[in-house]
Amino acid sequence: MRRVMGVCLAGLAMVASVLVAGPARADVPVVGLITVDPLNIDHWGTLTATLSGNDSCAQPVTYDWDFDGDGSYDDLVGTTSNSAEWPAAQWSSGPGTYEVGVRANVCGATFPASADVTVPGLAGSFYVTLSGAVTEVGIPAPLFVTIQNRPAPDDFGYSWDLDGDGAFDDSSATYGTFEPTAIGTFQARVRVLHKPSGSFAIATSTIRVEAPPEPVTLAPAVVTGTPKVSYVLVASGATPTPGNAVRTVKWLRDGVPITGATLATYRLTTADAGRRVRIEVRATLSGYADSAPVLSNSVAVAAHNSVRPTFSGTLRVGRKLTGTRGTWYAPNHTYTYRWLRDGKAISGATALTYVTKSTDRGKRISLRVTRQRAGFPTVHAYSVARTISR
């Protein structure tokens, strides 16, 4: 036969009474009354029911708990463990005396027992508050503990219930981090233990997890204009919704912001030659999430020749002429060359040097230098034309 010896809670000494045995089924022999050792509760809040004796069946024993003193064993039902955690609702009620009941289910018989559990006040009168938070799904919320009337020595331990399961087993850090996964209102708790005295305090806070605000939206942005140095590009579009959102514009050169270029127009400089220019638009409005950045079409700016090509040499038949490229702003562009006779291409004359022929006598010879790059305009620059003497 088995008999329920009672309920004990490990740790700080508590007030307790002898548990009184409830009725048992007549076909299950029971020896003696149900008794209990002195009850206590520590800062971990563990309650333990002690069952001893023998029975004639091999069925497992289950336990039902009554924590709130309403006489119904419905607060923790059917557990096969003889230990239970002091529930969150009771911790939140603070210090005081509470009736605890436990019922052991043995071979079809039930053995209830009860006792008064006294939760002590705070030794040293220190108090704990816990910050709340408002956040969004996926954005962690830090929770901070404030201890008032701190006793000496200043040595505290922390345990957190961040998932609402009633157990202070989620963290031992000095601050908590709530990880929101759903919209709603949630509670977090911290238990602060003053290690030298063994006294503790519990604080609860509320975390409100809200849906993220609607973002400002932007229509597509467009850049138009002549893609040459000294010409002006104009940005348009990027209309915001709501319409009173505030827009900001950045002009980008090869993806890098151009210093000071924050207006709807932009005059191209030699630094833009041979590069891609576009705008990035963003919008903000109080009560709304910031817009995603909107990028316009990319404008490929033509290479720029600032000093035209030249050539030197004796202007007579059979003499070699030597050309120079001139000065260019054209990164990653290739060079090609063509000598011209009266403005028309001379067959095979594609180097920086050219030996004049009899067919050049009396003609005007010039050098054309070309800069090219895939996706960019092709740009030509011409030397001054000079006449070959007879």
Q: Which CATH number fits the domain that encloses residue 127? A: 2.60.40.10
Are 360 and 261 part of one and the same domain? no
Given a contact cutoff of 8 angstroms between Cβ atoms, the answer to whether 305 and 231 are in contact is no
How many domains does the structure of the chain reveal?
A: 4
Spatial distance between the Cα atoms of 254 and 141, rounded to a whole number of angstroms: 38
Q: What's 53's domain CATH number? A: 2.60.40
3-state secondary structure the chain: CEEEEEEEECCEECCCCCCCCCCCCCCCCCCCCCCCCCCEECCCCEEEEEEEECCCCCCCCEEEEECCCCCCCCCEEEECCCEEECCHHHHHHCCEEEEEEEEEEECCEEEEEEEEEEECCCHHHCEEEECCEEEECCCCEEEEEEEECCCCCCCEEEEEECCCCCCCCCECCCEEEECCCCCEEEEEEEEEEECCCCCEEEEEEEEEEECCCCECEECCEEEECCCCCCCEEEEEECCEECCCCEEEEEEEECCEECCCCCCCEEECCHHHCCCEEEEEEEEECCCCECCCCEECCCEECCCEEEECCEEECCCECCCEEEEECCEEECCCCEEEEEEEECCEECCCCCCCEEECCHHHCCCEEEEEEEEECCCCCCEEEECCCEECEC
Are 225 and 142 part of one and the same domain? no
Of 95, 119, 143, the one marking the end of a domain is: 119
Amino acid in position 25:
R
Per-residue pLDDT tens listing for the chain (390 residues): 333 333 333 322 222 322 333 333 333 333 222 333 334 444 445 677 776 665 557 778 888 888 888 889 888 898 888 777 766 556 555 566 777 888 888 888 888 887 777 665 544 568 899 999 999 999 999 999 999 888 878 889 999 999 998 899 999 999 999 999 999 999 999 999 888 877 888 999 999 999 989 999 999 999 999 999 999 999 999 999 999 999 999 999 999 999 999 999 999 999 999 999 999 999 999 999 999 999 999 999 999 999 999 999 999 999 999 999 999 999 999 999 999 999 999 999 999 999 999 999 999 999 999 999 999 999 999 999 999 987
Q: What's 294's domain CATH number? A: 2.60.40.2700
Domain range enclosing 177: 123-210
Which tokens sit at 298?
Answer: 């990319």
Residue 299 is predicted with a pLDDT of 98
Are 26 and 111 part of one and the same domain? yes
Residue 20 is predicted with a pLDDT of 33
Question: For residue 63, which of 46, 45, 84, 91 has the smallest C-alpha distance?
Answer: 84
Are 284 and 317 part of one and the same domain? no
Are 7 and 115 part of one and the same domain? yes
Are 73 and 97 part of one and the same domain? yes
Are 108 and 191 part of one and the same domain? no
Q: What is the CA radius of gyration of the chain?
A: 44
